[in-house]
Amino acid sequence: MNKRYFGTDGIRASVGTPPMTPDWLLRLGRALACVLPPSDKLVLIGEDPRQSSASLARAFAKGLALQGRSAVLLGVLPTPALAFMCRHRKPALAAVLSASHNPYQDNGIKFFSDTGFKLSDAEELEIERILDAIDEVEIAEQPGQIVEDKTAAQEYLAHCQNNFLKPEALSGLSLVLDCAEGATYQIAPALFRHLGAKVEILHASPNGININERCGATDLNDLKKAVLEQKADLGIAFDGDGDRLMMVDATGATVDGDELLWILAADRLAQGLPLAGVVGTLMSNLGLVEALADKQVVLYRAKVGDRYVLQALQERGWCLGGESSGHLLHLEYGSTGDGIASALLVLQAMLSAQQSLSQIKQGMFKYPQIMLNIRYSAGSIDLNHPSIQAAVKVVESELGPHGRVLLRASGTEPLVRVMVEGRDKAVVEAYAKELVAVIQKTAL
């Protein structure tokens, strides 16, 4: 059964159109309240700082209250902080109003169970089933309460301060933080200063409409410039809701999710800890596959989306996985992608190896990988069309064993992503443009 509202990472849409309207979020709150067990009352709600988040969070809370559930509005928090609060406070469930790396015109809602993990497909389908019939459900005789609690940010900050590095561990390190005008804008600067680093802050003045705007993990230009100008040791970038991490080394070079995953894997092996395998995705760089293979570690490719990385980790009993986009999961430290925690673990690995970021990433050769997006306005694109598949086979034949092609539809936007990977950047880029032209001619 296909889901109508939930995508690969919760529900997401343009604000002002269903499902991102106050009325729709109220109905969703009512539906969710009906799915929760009768004994479970409390739901935690966080938000990112985009201008629509607060009103949508209150509408969702009102829906919960109408069905007898109590809601706690926690204010602006990184998404992984909500997962942490689930494990810490044990509510029935937690929700965060955020569209992650999307622009402010979009918003979304993600859910975490009482264990801090995202909901299963079956649970999301059940919510949708109730949602479609919510008008037939009676309002509760005794409404729930809606209260505000602004202490969660300090609880999460204390967790990050106390469970990774010792105070002043980063003394002497110069770094630049890009908070993407998003949910990490208060916590991240306070944390890294507490750890003793000299910190330059970028994009930490959210005004509701500048979230992810030419900054953060999806646009590293400002961070690279600042790292070089400040002669900093490295740069750290989060996305709007704080579940992604991208880094920049002292030379201004990008260190992406695949390289960060390699650093964490190599550090685990250096500590003598078991690592049977690592979970990546269909987008994971061939260089990561080869670097892990040299260490006798398998890389399993899951579908794109951190929920699928998590599912594969749980099925295999492994602890480490992630995406090239910067979602990194280390199940010994948390239940979801956490940009701040991941940054701390990378810094921990650097300190242990006594190497700079540019040095510690050298164990992996990153293949040139070109990704081009094709936006479409309605319907879908048939990527299995014979002409498209024939063009893909020609490119794959030319690239040989040290290259590959991946075509996929985005799970969150009306985009088709065309990825080509190989040893020669110019060749890879030319093939990617060829495939885009074929798809546009054939399917648009």
Residue 370 phi/psi, 5° resolution? -105, 130
For residue 19, say if its preceding peptide bond is cis, omega within 30 degrees of 0.
Answer: yes
Give the CA count within 13 Å in the CB-facing half-sphere of 249.
Answer: 17
Q: Looking at 52, 53, 98, 100, which residue is catalytic?
A: 100
Q: Kindly tell me the sign of the dihedral angle through the C-alpha atoms of 11, 15, 17, 21.
A: positive
174 among known catalytic residues: no
- Crossing angle of helices 53-66/22-35, nearest 10°? 40
Query: Which residues does 166 contact at the CB level (< 8 Å), separation at least 6?
Result: none
- d(C-alpha 197, C-alpha 2), whole Å: 48
d(CA 392, CA 387): 9
Give the SS3 label for residue 425: helix
Geometric angle at alpha carbon 237, from 312 and 44, rounded to 5°: 60
- Name the amino acid, one letter, at 338: D
Other CB atoms within 10 A of residue 274 CB:
8
- CA pseudo-torsion sign 444, 99, 88, 94: negative
**Active-site residue numbers?**
100
